[in-house]
Amino acid sequence: MRILSIFGTRPEAIKMAPLVKRLEAEPGVQSVVCVTGQHQSMLQQVLDLFGIVPAHNLAAMTTNQTLNGLAARLFTGLDDVLAAEQPERVLVHGDTTTSMAGALAAFHRRIPVGHVEAGLRTGNLFEPWPEEMNRRVVDVVSDLLFAPTASSQANLDAEALTGRVVVTGNTVIDALRLMCERLDSDTAMRERIDAQFPFLEPEGEGRPLLLVTGHRRESFGAGFEHICAALAALAQTGKMQIVYPVHLNPNVRGPVLATLGNAPNVTLTDPLDYPEFVRLMQRAAIVLTDSGGVQEEAPALGKPVLVMRDVTERPEALAAGTVKLIGTDRVAIERAVLELVDDEEERRAFARRVNPYGDGHASERIVAALVGKPFTPFASRALPGYLHPVLAARADA
Ligand code: UD1
Ligand code: UDP
């Protein structure tokens, strides 16, 4: 079976890497990778780490790209790759413009599509924007839907899609587990990474570490001004060390560097390699983020996560109480962070170690489903997060 995996951004690469490695090792499967290059250096970091050599790289990124400009480049480039490769199946991941274009380009050529990380929903097309739309479009055209959890399966079931739904767990936990095992077993690697953070106070002795990431398009402008103003005020209190690896999007870097470039107690870095970032998550007391992937990883590491969004398509950790939605209002961010910084007990209670998103075997299940081998689906419980109108009506009845 000739399987073409298409991805293009950092999070897609991290989440597809364990699956690509398994596909490469599976007898009877010919695995081909096409990266779109929607991201450049942030993607290359991950390809190098996992030793993935793409057969195709569309190098589609331009500085401050528009969604339509990017989509147009992707459709044109992907059609040529599909024509040349003639795959029996295409795999895409998640909710990016690359996923949407990859799935539609394959659909236009009547090539079956498998969607990894299917079925997540907020129920609001504009949050996250444009990702909620992208994910729905991919789900509609896919004949194999790899739902990470029972909640995402329930969303898909309610939409009566034609694809077959399989609950697998999220491959991000496969990647995270791999990385943590390496950090645990390879002391030299851990020490080498720690040496890259000379600005951090000694583990267990210093002030709490607040690890920050943020990049959502719907927060550009006022949202980011609020986030930066809140961080500047938090830094002034001197109660915490703040580390913020800044996304390369100019709409993020502009306000972040302007407001926090010279702030005391704040270290801004370029995007970190995945092992470095995982190590920082391990050392963090609190994670403040709007990232999808980080929302899944940090709870698995037992870290309290404050999410700078109004809604989330990931209700599982919210229900478990290890994630809190705090929006992007300056005062709300300041209050939520200070509450946790000031209260170590609360931090501990907040950080009940849960792993609702996977058990590290998602890639195995996906490969088994693809090649028709038996497997046990990932066991998880459907949760009331976003309730699809069909499900809500059923619950009322
Ligand atoms: C994209 C995805 C988003 C995902 C995020 C992960 C869409 C619409 N958005 O958002 O779902 O959460 O990636 O990070 O698919 N840039 C660089 N170098 C890089 C990467 C980005 O310079 O390696 C800059 C470029 O100026 C680029 C800009 O960032 O134009 C925006 O990149 P883009 O992929 O369009 O959007 P993201 O905000 O990264
Ligand atoms: N990440 C990383 N380096 C960083 C910041 C994040 O490797 O400096 C990883 C993080 O561990 C997670 C993924 O990137 O696996 C999340 O990517 P991002 O926040 O860009 O996208 P999202 O998950 O929101 O789509």
Q: Is the dihedral of CA 275, 45, 148, 211 positive or negative?
A: positive
Of all protein residues, whose CA lies closest to atom 19 belonging to ligand 2?
291
Q: Residues with Cβ < 8 Å from 336, sequence gap 6 or more? A: 306, 324, 326
Distance of CA 117 to the CA centre of its chain: 10
Nearest 5°: CA angle at 258, between 255 and 264? 115
Q: Which of 217, 253, 347, 388 is catalytic?
A: 217
Q: Residues with Cβ < 8 Å from 80, sequence gap 6 or more? A: none
Q: Is 219 in the pocket of ligand 2 (CB under 6 A)?
A: no
How many helices and strands, by DSSP H and E, does the chain display? 17, 13
pLDDT tens-digit map of 111-159 = 999 999 999 999 999 999 999 999 999 999 999 999 999 999 999 999 9
Closest ligand, as measured to the CA of 218: 1
Q: Is 149 in the pocket of ligand 1 (CB under 6 A)?
A: no
pLDDT tens-digit map of 274-316 = 999 999 999 999 999 999 999 999 999 999 999 999 999 999 9
pLDDT at 383 exceeding the cut of 90? no
Q: Is 9 in the pocket of ligand 1 (CB under 6 A)?
A: yes
Domains and CATH numbers, the chain: 2-170+358-396 (3.40.50.2000), 197-351 (3.40.50.2000)
Average pLDDT of span 186-204: 94
Of all protein residues, whose CA lies closest to atom 24 belonging to ligand 2?
291
Closest ligand, as measured to the CA of 292: 2
pLDDT at 224 exceeding the cut of 70? yes
Q: Residue 97: pLDDT band by 50, 70, 90 thresholds?
A: very high
**Residue of 7, 9, 10, 215 with the most ligand 2 atoms within 8 Å of its CB, for mutation:** 10
Nearest 5°: CA angle at 36, between 31 and 42? 105
Q: Is 40 in the pocket of ligand 1 (CB under 6 A)?
A: yes
Distance of CA 350 to the CA centre of its chain: 21
Q: Is 274 in the pocket of ligand 2 (CB under 6 A)?
A: yes
Q: Is 237 in the pocket of ligand 1 (CB under 6 A)?
A: no
pLDDT on residue 203: 85
Q: Residues 246, 211: contact at Cβ < 8 Å?
A: no
**Residue of 135, 274, 309, 314 with the most ligand 2 atoms within 8 Å of its CB, for mutation:** 274
pLDDT on residue 250: 95
pLDDT tens-digit map of 317-327 = 888 888 999 99
The CA radius of gyration of the chain, in Å to the nearest whole number, is 20
High-pLDDT (> 90) share of the chain, %: 87
pLDDT at 226 exceeding the cut of 60? yes
Active site residue 218: no
Q: Which of 10, 93, 247, 330 is catalytic?
A: 247
Q: Residue 101: pLDDT band by 50, 70, 90 thresholds?
A: very high
Active site residue 215: yes
H or E element at residue 243: strand 241-245
pLDDT at 353 exceeding the cut of 80? no
pTM, two decimal places: 0.96
Structure tokens at 247: 């996304």
Q: What CA–CA distance (Å, rounded) separates 325 from 204?
A: 27
Q: Is 297 in the pocket of ligand 2 (CB under 6 A)?
A: yes
Q: 51-59 long-range contacts, Cβ below 8 Å, gap at least 24?
A: 52/13, 52/17, 52/20, 52/21, 55/85, 56/32, 56/81, 56/85, 58/8, 58/34
Q: Residue 391: pLDDT band by 50, 70, 90 thresholds?
A: low
Q: Residue 29: pLDDT band by 50, 70, 90 thresholds?
A: very high
Of all protein residues, whose CA lies closest to atom 36 belonging to ligand 1?
249
Of all protein residues, whose CA lies closest to atom 3 belonging to ligand 1?
96
Q: Residues 74, 58: contact at Cβ < 8 Å?
A: yes
Q: Is 277 in the pocket of ligand 2 (CB under 6 A)?
A: yes
Active site residue 388: no
| Residue 269 alpha carbon, nearest atom of ligand 2 | 8
Active site residue 109: no
Q: Which of 10, 39, 73, 215 is catalytic?
A: 215
Q: Which of 26, 95, 132, 316 is catalytic?
A: 95
Residues forming a β-bridge with 89: 3
Q: Which of 12, 56, 121, 131 is catalytic?
A: 131
Expressed in angstroms and rounded, the spacing between residue 277 Cα and the centre of ligand 2 is 8
Q: Residue 355: pLDDT band by 50, 70, 90 thresholds?
A: confident
Average pLDDT of span 9-35: 98
Structure tokens at 391: 């499900």
Q: Is the dihedral of CA 185, 186, 191, 194 positive or negative?
A: negative
Backbone dihedral region of 358: left (phi > 0), alpha (psi from -120 to 50 degrees) or beta? left
Closest ligand, as measured to the CA of 61: 1
Of all protein residues, whose CA lies closest to atom 13 belonging to ligand 2?
11
Structure tokens at 243: 């580390």
Residue 114 has a CB neighbour count (10 Å cut-off) of 27
Q: Residue 372: pLDDT band by 50, 70, 90 thresholds?
A: very high
Closest CA to 305 of 292, 328, 281, 289: 289
